[in-house]
Amino acid sequence: MSNAHNEKNGLVILGWVTDPNEPNLFHITMINVDLDEEYNLKNLKKSEHFKYYMNRIMNEYGYGDYIIQNQYSGELDNTKVCEIKFIK
């Protein structure tokens, strides 16, 4: 978890993997350590931490924008996986 980045409200992004069938589709795993705040697609974009990681991915891979496609529960407690399609 060395690349985990935390913000004061408790959202931590654990990491991401790309989809082997669609290289522009990323599966980003997040954990919410603040049980009082529920992250959903609506308020996720407001998170400074989320913006930080989206910018980091876009800079690293040369993308210009992204679309959040889906969000579902992860395998570990309190984790969510967000499917995000990046656009060149």
Tens of pLDDT along 33-63?
A: 665 566 666 677 778 888 888 999 999 999 9
Domain containing residue 75: 5-87
Contact present, 66 and 44 (Cβ < 8 Å): no
pLDDT given for residue 84 in this prediction: 93
- DSSP at 78: T
pLDDT given for residue 41 in this prediction: 64
Number of domains in the chain: 1
Question: Can you give the three-state secondary structure of 4-63, one letter per residue?
Answer: CEECCCCEEEEEEEEECCEEEEEEEEEEECCCCCCCCHHHHCCCHHHHHHHHHHHHHHCC
Tokens of residue 59, six digits: 């800079």
Taking the model in full, what pTM does it have?
0.72
